[in-house]
Structure 1
Amino acid sequence: MNRTVFYLLITLFISCKSEKQKSISLEEDIAYLASDSLQGRETGTEYELKAAMYIKKRMEGIGLAPKGNAGTYFQTFTFKPKTDPHTEIEFVNGDSTITGTNVIGYVDNQADKTVIIGAHYDHLGLGGEGSLYAEGDAVHNGADDNASGVGILLQLAERLKDSLKGSNYLFLAFSGEEMGLLGSNYFTKNPTIDLPKASYMLNMDMVGRLRDDNTLSISGVGTSPIWNQVLNSNNSDFKLVLSESGMGPSDHTSFYLQDIPALHFFTGQHSDYHKPSDDSEKLNYDGMRMIEEYITHIISELDDDAKLAFRTTKNESEDVPRFKVALGVMPDYLFDGKGMRIDGVTEGRPAAAAGLQKGDVVIQLGDSLVTDMMSYMRALSVFEEGNTTEVTVDRNGEKISAEIKF
């Protein structure tokens, strides 16, 4: 080998090594995942597969080991879509309608327990079922839901790869969440690790819109006796809204049902939810970095602890009353005052017709006082289409009453 060729090879080696080690920012990850080029990342489409390939390459570049099927980063599952919403999804082999793809990376520290960190990366594509956009097909980029969670997951992977050694770390980007927690459901029934060794699971879903008052919702706090102490002792930045139940409309539920302590981090609903306007430029990146830092502190405190004890929680969804009418508002699920705060009003619905506004706090509906979300839903459940009643709201300290017609 002549000297020129030798130096050329050395230069290429150093260049490739430098490129592999180049850090990719949270903004860059989310900008790609929430770009129009991925057409909303609908489960089973070529665009979701493009997103899966991006996440796989990021995991590979970070240095995570593949932990999908057959030595790859991918775990695929095939299923028939539900025709009856009350039936369980049917996973099938062979010919099927849709194939989803989980993306899985692993840090093996030869520990006797594993921490699972997850976020779903699928979204609604051009809309369809689940969309709150009524003006036809449009790309639903899902920047907050849930490119934000995947972005934090990848940043956590970079942090944890060569630092904490007391646990193994499994990083899961789920497919099929929007269709019914399908990817996480499939993984827990077909795990690529020894699932009984899982210490706990952390789920980030819609963590990109931290508000000015730094309110952070964490669900699943009752799934282990230690959570309250750990979450509060490591908190210096957030106004925490803690919920006990391990059941909820996101992927942590699949792990809770396998007796694994599980938390869901969430920064709240907003008017862009499940609409084409959920775009990357609307996210609070400093807020996401704060959440990443907070989660890192939590993981660090638990790194040397034994596998967390599991505790069952009350299924709060069983207490939710059924109702035949809707007010046409988006509740503020992070509001912890008295009443039900309105975070958005839908045009053409009863609340808009009555003149209710974003920021109003519903304190009475009909004969029922409204003190929280549950009492609001109970109050709403007594009405039927065509009924008329009175609603009272607190608007900047002034009590205002209006007639509501359902």
Structure 2
Amino acid sequence: MSTRNVAGFLDNGAEKTIVIGGHYDHLGKGFQSGSLTPDSQNQIHNGADDNASGTAGVIELARYFAANNIKEKHNFLFIAFSGEELGLLGSKYFIENPAVPLKSISCMINMDMIGRLDETKGIIISGWGTSPVWGKVIPDLAKTRKMRYTIDSSGVGASDHTSFYLKDIPVVQFFTGSHGDYHKLTDDTDKINFDGEAKILSLIAQVVEGVDKEANEPEFTTAGDPHAGRTTSNFKVTLGVMPDYSFSGKGLRIDAVSKARPAANAGIEAGDVIIKLAGKEIGSIYDYMDILGEHEKGQTVEAEFLRNNEKKVVKVTF
């Protein structure tokens, strides 16, 4: 089966381009893995929040910037990614086959699940640590709208901004939070806060305008631990790797390695497949997480991995 990313380019004749994206795929009729509704195969999973809300955001922002009669200092590339639920496949494909040179991308703004705004909790903004520009532009705009928000500095997560961050591109993601309808048949339009989403899109539009008006291009900065904000408090250690969530073979395939972290210090590289850690076999990412939960900082263990089908063993110190 094949699928496509869907893109629209607003050409302002500029050297730099701002990417605005969100994934449009969901779980279909439940035959692929991921549905949390029991016995839900052959039943349509509409995914109103995940991620029709973000897809609508991409379309609305494209409409807004195309019709504002302003020639901004940046071009805009609006992308609806496919294959996100299977492991960020659409955004990975774009990064490997970019429609514009990667060096010309100023920053990437991602919308994933922005349809359930609770005014008392606000929104979650990820990627804050990937560029100083977010801390410069966003706070005053959010304050004007009386929009509460919390931040996650990490540039990686289970959404498409990760693919851009791993290529040293500043990213920011907007998210209204998890809920009990996630990946269930009940994630439908009756649960969407339409006024709330409109408020979020108004904020994002002004964030884009703020970045466009900056005298300098957003500076990329390496964000914190890739596991920050993603793992439970039981995890005292990390390898400092980004797993390849689309990998279906045995072991943990590494998509990216953070500098100066345990894996990098041990010589583990992107593309390696870890098959054993601390003497325990890794069949899936869940085995890997179980092993992490059993260790403390400062401990040294053996990691066995495959690199181009050649088996290697190294010592890893957490």
Q: Same fold (TM over 0.5)?
A: yes
Match of 1:148 in 2: 53
Contact 2:119 2:148 in 1 (8 A): no
Contact 1:201 1:261 in 2 (8 A): yes
Match of 1:222 in 2: 129
Query: 1:124, CA displacement in angstroms?
Result: 0.4
**1:165–1:212 CA distance, 2 compared to 1 (3 A):** closer
2:50 alignment partner AA: D
Classify the secondary structure of the residue corresponding to 1:183.
helix
CA distance in 1 between counterparts of 2:171 and 2:219 reads 11
Query: 1:228, CA displacement in angstroms?
Result: 1.1
Match of 2:179 among 258, 270, 273: 270
Classify the secondary structure of the residue corresponding to 1:119.
strand
| 1:135 aligned onto 2:16 | no
Query: 1:315, CA displacement in angstroms?
Result: 2.8
Classify the secondary structure of the residue corresponding to 1:101.
coil
Deviations 1:247-289 (A, max 9, x none): 1000000000111100110000111100011101210000010
CA distance in 2 between counterparts of 1:316 and 1:189 reads 21
Give runs of aligned pairs for residues 96-135 of structure 1, distance below 5 A. Answer: 98-127=1-30, 128-135=32-39
CA distance in 2 between counterparts of 1:105 and 1:136 reads 34
Match of 1:311 in 2: 221
Deviations 1:85-117 (A, max 9, x none): xxxxxxxxxxxxx31200010001011211000
Match of 1:168 among 63, 72, 75: 75
Classify the secondary structure of the residue corresponding to 2:21.
strand
| Greater length-normalized contact order (CA 8 Å, ≥ 6 residues apart) | 2
Deviations 1:6-26 (A, max 9, x none): xxxxxxxxxxxxxxxxxxxxx
CA distance in 1 between counterparts of 2:160 and 2:36 reads 21
Deviations 1:169-215 (A, max 9, x none): 00000000000000000001100112201111000000000013151
Give runs of aligned pairs for residues 196-345 of structure 1, distance below 5 A. Answer: 196-213=103-120, 215-236=122-143, 237-305=146-214, 306-317=216-227, 320=231
Give runs of aligned pairs for residues 9-28 of structure 1, distance below 5 A. Answer: none
2:91 alignment partner AA: S
Contact 1:153 1:171 in 2 (8 A): yes
Gap regions ≥5 residues in structure 1: 1-97, 325-376, 383-406
2:102 alignment partner AA: L
Normalising to structure 1: TM-score of the pair?
0.54
1:217 alignment partner AA: I
CA distance in 2 between counterparts of 1:316 and 1:258 reads 14
Query: 1:381, CA displacement in angstroms?
Result: 4.5
Query: 1:153, CA displacement in angstroms?
Result: 1.0
**1:240–1:323 CA distance, 2 compared to 1 (3 A):** closer
Match of 2:100 among 193, 206, 229: 193
CA distance in 2 between counterparts of 1:321 and 1:275 reads 23
CA distance in 2 between counterparts of 1:164 and 1:245 reads 32
2:78 alignment partner AA: F
Query: 1:302, CA displacement in angstroms?
Result: 1.7
CA distance in 1 between counterparts of 2:12 and 2:142 reads 27
Alignment RMSD: 2.4
CA distance in 2 between counterparts of 1:295 and 1:143 reads 20
CA distance in 1 between counterparts of 2:111 and 2:231 reads 24
Question: Where has structure 1 moved over 6 Å in runs of 4 or more?
Answer: 321-324
Classify the secondary structure of the residue corresponding to 1:229.
helix
Match of 1:350 in 2: none
**1:230–1:99 CA distance, 2 compared to 1 (3 A):** same
Normalising to structure 2: TM-score of the pair?
0.69
Query: 1:314, CA displacement in angstroms?
Result: 2.0
1:225 alignment partner AA: P
1:105 alignment partner AA: G
Number of residue pairs the alignment of both structures matches? 233
Classify the secondary structure of the residue corresponding to 2:115.
coil
Contact 1:164 1:300 in 2 (8 A): no
CA distance in 2 between counterparts of 1:290 and 1:266 reads 13
Query: 1:164, CA displacement in angstroms?
Result: 4.6
CA distance in 2 between counterparts of 1:323 and 1:130 reads 24
Contact 1:247 1:315 in 2 (8 A): no
